[in-house]
Structure 1
Amino acid sequence: LRAYLMLFLPMIFGKWLNQLDIFSFLTVGMLMYNPYLVYNLSFIFSYLIYFFILLLQNQKAGKYYLFLGSIPIIISIQHVLPVFSFLIGILLMPYIEMIYKSMLYYLLLGKYVLPFLSLEYELLLKMIAFIYDFSFTLPFSQPTLFFIGVYYYLYLKGIYKLNVNRKVTQEVCLLLSVLLAFYFYPYYNMKGQVVMIDVGQGDCFFIQQPYARGNVLIDTGGLQKSDLATSRLIPYLQSQGVFYLDAVFISHEDYDHCGALTSLKEHFKVKKVIYDFKKKTIGDLVFKNLALDKYYTNSNDRSSIIYVTINRLNYLFTGDISKEVESDLYQTYHHLDVDVLKVAHHGSSSSSSEDLFKMIDPKVALISVGKNNRYRHPSYLTLKRLEAYGVKIYRSDLQGMVKIVYYVGKNYVMTSSGF
């Protein structure tokens, strides 16, 4: 729509307005029609790049410089930068222009042009598929506002220099330097986080250590009707600058805890999968399995009970254990320092017993649970018990993804509504 309006509107208003004026009115008009377009990545990409095209249209080097303007948006969408797309874009540009002209003829002549347009479109898809097979990409985390601001300041400064016929060598070098610095951002990022990823009715917790010292998942979640790994887990991990996992702990083999594991291993680098263990050190963290000398017939009760200290907070991940296991834990350990409790079995009434709270005194409870789930988790009794012990409750069905971000000895709980 933007392309065709920018084709026709200058024909009508070209005597009074230049193309930049017309484009400005068009942008304002589109946002007045639908203000939420400002959150649409395809709108941002299309309109911002066309704005750069207008600013560079009289410059011979414009089409080369244009690619640099698209980089922050590309890595915001894909979290990778296709290294050869700069050259590919230049090669395909004449062909894309031909397809647009064919589309215009199709609007005028209809079915007579359709076979040629279909052929051009199929060839384009085959070319893209061929290029994809030989593509090489660099991974990037989600761009920060600081990176985007600095990058586009330097980029617009370069556009100004081009339009006054000055060299932009310095700006190009600075842009590439900023890009390189952001590529290594995960390795000097001082923040760590523990994240309850919203996977619906299931469990998945992500632990990211500062300076890329270690990345861990505890369970992967699993949905029967969709692939959680490719639709949610991998995109989120990539957005956090994570492109491999040091370990995936599987508490037990229920589908809602490990169903996404197979796809995750197929599409993402996982160094090791850990089912049964006593103690594992990953980066600066020591994960302990509070194993009990007893065999349980129920698979939920055989869940690994993972205890780990992260930035002065003690976490207890309880899988799907029942009251029986909680009672045995109390008899064995009597007291555990726990600040953050992963509530067992999605807040079911079969867990979170009085014996558990005789042993621990958590400040925060994390309940990973699906919205309007058929099991009616979390149980009213469990919620009332947590409230009675003064525990702050965070639920994925109500608050979505919940993060505990830590930085230099301090910890902050972050939800979609803020800290």
Structure 2
Amino acid sequence: MASLFYQFHLLLLLLLSSLIIRMICMKNCWLWLMVFLCSFFLSLRTYYYVNKIENEPQRITNGYLKIQTDSIKVDGNSLKLTGKIQGKKYFVYNTLKSPAEKAIWQGKALPNMAIVNGDTEDFDNARNLNGFDAKKYYQSLGFTQVLQAKAIKPVKIQRFSISDVRQRLIWRIDRRYSTRLASYIKALIIGYKDAQFADYTSAYKTTGLLHLFTLSGMHIQFYLGGVHLLLKRAGLVRETRLLLLSAVGLLLIILTGSGFSTIRAVVSFLIAFACLTLEIQLSKLDQWSIMLFLLILCFPLVFWSVGAQLSLYFALILSYLNDLRLKKWQQLVLFSAFALPIMIYSFSEWTIIGGLFTILLFPLFEWLILPGCIVLFLGCFLPIPQFLSFLLEQFFRLLEKVLALAAFPNLTIGRPTFTILLFLILIVLLLIDRLKYQRKTYWLLGIAFLLIASVSFSAKGMVAFVDVGQGDSIFIKLPFKQETFLIDTGGRLKFRQKKWQRRQQKHLSDYNLLPFLKSLGCTKIDHLLITHNDADHMGELVNVLDNVKVKNLYLAKGSQIELKKLIQSIKGTKIHLVKKGDTVGNKLKVQILSPEKSTGENDDSLVTYFTLNHQRFLLTGDLETTGEEALIRNYPQLKTDFLKVGHHGSNTSTGKELLEKVRPKYAIISAGKKNRYGHPTQETLTKLNKQKIRVFRTDQQGMIYYHWSATTKWGEIKLLIDFLE
């Protein structure tokens, strides 16, 4: 859906053709003129917008950066902020060099200007299949590039800025209330989510209620509806109310950080109220269309943002549901069901009980949580009783505990193709139409079920070298989910740091490996193999075990001695110790070629070998040249098509003897983008080039995968990024 108006798609072309045919049949000249003018203005606006944000990487010297102060975030020695240089918007990164420098960016009066030196670069495209595309997301928000600031000298000057006002509000809330309560108030009143917010709201995420804490239609309806009621009670006429509501709506947009959901909700509210005030007869769908036109005019790449996709789709569904004249709880149940297509396209999963909990909690939000947060927000400026903040905080604590107990696993389906998504949305619209006229819907539900089932049970098999940064992770899936394998999990190597430098620890697999597995509908791994004990190969093991059911875990015999505590903590997974000569798997036989006995070191890595769709794969972990020599002595007839290069392309691996003996066609190097070790080394690349082996690198090309069809047996290598040197 992110590419809805900007990329060619056969099905979209067919839909556009049907629209043109319908317009021809209507024989309405005014309609043709309106469509032409709208298309012309949107195309022109998009052209200028894209030209403005697309730039070549450059070096910035002594650039004057206007800082958006409410965007400043400090995590250990990491500084992130947004700002403008000569009208161009940048996302700025900087590594802080001292505690004194860190303190400057954490005070009350934050710098609103800075002199910066650094290099700009493009945002990353999606680095894994179905992964987060940072470039599209940030470009949809008007960002030009990333600025890696080598030096940043803060300057405080006297100038009025909305972001300064918002930052002061954030500071006041933080100073007035506890960390937990402040997080809730900031999220619900000014749309700001701090670093702690995710910790407090994890229970809402698992129960499908996190949307209640994102400023959107419900919240704006409450705020503007409340203001409208006060204006009406004051005896103001509709025209005056419309002007004042427009001013209040604009203020809300500014103070809440101009989030897309807020803008959409405010514009929708004002369009509906304007139609009522000016007595203009427009259907809900027409109002939605006007709102969409205005938003695309302001944000031409709006469909590149997942949040915008969700917001617009939900608004469209609600506009149709309003015509059914259902009770509130019936609307919410249908809304939850009809949200399924866009939810699985965006997140690969659907919260089964999200609709039920929304029904139960909606009155609490309407009558307790939102009014309570408003009162406490006003308490930053006016005296209010202390017990009110205590009561609301205790209520939030209780709600978190209750929802944590009531948490129910989400239904992981996988990410449908764009074509399937369009068909599912069409089915949703047809279902609403048939419900309106009380017609049977069984056949539509049957088609929808088959389409959804086809997502998880794909006829394609895959061997994927996942981009996990400076680490290894290889995923193998047989067609129709017959069997799944994961070899290593990736992870972060730890370095000694001072206390002030330490950043908040996050699981890397939450951002690369796990979303990829979810997008394939993979909820179970049959066989997980750990090649050796280094953190960049097994650092994310515990997090993977916590999020995906793993039936069997395989460790090299001998390596378990160092992992005794970890092994004792693992529940529900069978642990196997394997050595040279063993075989793992049922449908697919993965042979263990090395070692005989392991100590968990690089040269004791599990070496695996298997054949899929007539293609041979040799995966060597971090095996070094000594281990490679032993391998070719033990298996003199060993040949392969795909070689996973040892130790991320280090010069301690991938000896000339191995390459000449196994004669691979393709070499896969798993390394982190701009890693500190200089992997892969030029020496290794030269050896591979001399043997005329085609090289693929995750640091340059993102995830690399070979996939094939169970029906045609045709397979190909796919890259996430077409890298050109």
Task: Write the distance in 1 (CA, Å) between the matches of 2:455 and 2:427.
Answer: 23
8 Å contact 1:200–1:397 — kept in the other structure?
A: yes
The equivalent position to 1:400 in structure 2, one of 665, 678, 702, is 702
The equivalent position to 2:437 in structure 1, one of 132, 144, 166, is 166
Distance 1:273 1:161, change over 3 A: closer
Task: Write the distance in 1 (CA, Å) between the matches of 2:289 and 2:545.
Answer: 47
8 Å contact 1:302–1:321 — kept in the other structure?
A: yes
Q: Deviations over 1:185-222 (max 9, x none)?
A: 36642111001111111110000111211111111111
8 Å contact 1:209–1:283 — kept in the other structure?
A: no
Does 2:417 correspond to 1:144?
Answer: yes
The equivalent position to 1:196 in structure 2, one of 457, 462, 465, is 465
In structure 1, the residue matched to 2:270 is 8
Distance 1:239 1:125, change over 3 A: farther
Larger Rg: 2
In structure 1, the residue matched to 2:406 is 134
In structure 1, the residue matched to 2:341 is 72
In structure 2, the residue matched to 1:414 is 718
Displacement of 1:414 in angstroms is 1.0
Deviant stretches of 4+, over 6 Å: 103-110, 112-122, 295-298
Distance 1:178 1:117, change over 3 A: farther
Distance 1:177 1:24, change over 3 A: same
Does 2:536 correspond to 1:250?
Answer: no
Task: Write the distance in 1 (CA, Å) between the matches of 2:554 and 2:690.
Answer: 35
Task: Give ranges in structure 2 of 5+ residues lacking alignment.
Answer: 1-261, 495-504, 557-577
Task: Write the distance in 1 (CA, Å) between the matches of 2:394 and 2:516.
Answer: 32
In structure 2, the residue matched to 1:385 is 687
8 Å contact 1:147–1:178 — kept in the other structure?
A: no
8 Å contact 1:106–1:113 — kept in the other structure?
A: no
In structure 2, the residue matched to 1:92 is 361
Task: Give the residue type in structure 2 aligned to 1:153.
Answer: L
Task: Write the distance in 2 (CA, Å) between the matches of 1:301 and 1:65.
Answer: 57
Displacement of 1:73 in angstroms is 2.1
Displacement of 1:84 in angstroms is 2.5
Displacement of 1:97 in angstroms is 4.4
Q: Deviations over 1:274-307 (max 9, x none)?
A: 11223224242111121366x7889111111111
Displacement of 1:388 in angstroms is 1.8
Task: Give the residue type in structure 1 aligned to 2:548.
Answer: F
8 Å contact 1:346–1:378 — kept in the other structure?
A: yes
Does 2:535 correspond to 1:262?
Answer: no
Task: Write the distance in 1 (CA, Å) between the matches of 2:586 and 2:640.
Answer: 21
8 Å contact 1:363–1:392 — kept in the other structure?
A: yes
Q: Deviations over 1:310-339 (max 9, x none)?
A: 111110001111122222223332232200
8 Å contact 2:524–2:549 — kept in the other structure?
A: yes
Task: Write the distance in 2 (CA, Å) between the matches of 1:155 and 1:71.
Answer: 9
Task: Write the distance in 2 (CA, Å) between the matches of 1:100 and 1:7.
Answer: 22
In structure 1, the residue matched to 2:252 is none
Deviates more, 1:407-416 or 1:56-65: 56-65
The equivalent position to 2:652 in structure 1, one of 342, 350, 374, is 350
8 Å contact 2:431–2:444 — kept in the other structure?
A: no
Task: Write the distance in 1 (CA, Å) between the matches of 2:646 and 2:513.
Answer: 22
Task: Write the distance in 1 (CA, Å) between the matches of 2:309 and 2:587.
Answer: 40
8 Å contact 2:534–2:600 — kept in the other structure?
A: no
Task: Write the distance in 1 (CA, Å) between the matches of 2:394 and 2:415.
Answer: 33
Task: Write the distance in 1 (CA, Å) between the matches of 2:582 and 2:425.
Answer: 47
Task: Write the distance in 1 (CA, Å) between the matches of 2:642 and 2:699.
Answer: 18
Distance 1:157 1:296, change over 3 A: closer
Task: Give the residue type in structure 2 aligned to 1:290.
Answer: L
Task: Give the residue type in structure 1 aligned to 2:421.
Answer: I
CA RMSD, 1 decimal: 3.2
Count of matched residue positions in the alignment of Structure 1 and Structure 2: 413
The equivalent position to 1:273 in structure 2, one of 540, 553, 558, is 553
Displacement of 1:271 in angstroms is 1.1
In structure 1, the residue matched to 2:186 is none
Task: Write the distance in 2 (CA, Å) between the matches of 1:53 and 1:361.
Answer: 60
Task: Give the residue type in structure 2 aligned to 1:396.
Answer: T
Percent of residue pairs bearing the same amino acid type? 27
Task: Give the residue type in structure 1 aligned to 2:705.
Answer: K
Task: Give the residue type in structure 1 aligned to 2:519.
Answer: S
Q: Deviations over 1:21-45 (max 9, x none)?
A: 4432322222332333312222111
Does 2:551 correspond to 1:286?
Answer: no
Task: Give the residue type in structure 1 aligned to 2:402.
Answer: F
Task: Write the distance in 1 (CA, Å) between the matches of 2:316 and 2:367.
Answer: 21
8 Å contact 2:413–2:456 — kept in the other structure?
A: no
3-state SS of 2:511 partner? helix
Does 2:631 correspond to 1:329?
Answer: yes
In structure 2, the residue matched to 1:213 is 482
Task: Write the distance in 2 (CA, Å) between the matches of 1:127 and 1:31.
Answer: 38
Task: Give ranges in structure 1 of 5+ residues lacking alignment.
Answer: none
Task: Write the distance in 2 (CA, Å) between the matches of 1:113 and 1:413.
Answer: 66
Distance 1:369 1:109, change over 3 A: closer
TM norm structure 1:
0.87
Task: Write the distance in 2 (CA, Å) between the matches of 1:72 and 1:387.
Answer: 46
3-state SS of 1:245 partner? strand
3-state SS of 1:369 partner? coil
3-state SS of 1:193 partner? strand
Task: Give the residue type in structure 1 aligned to 2:352.
Answer: V
Task: Write the distance in 2 (CA, Å) between the matches of 1:404 and 1:108.
Answer: 54
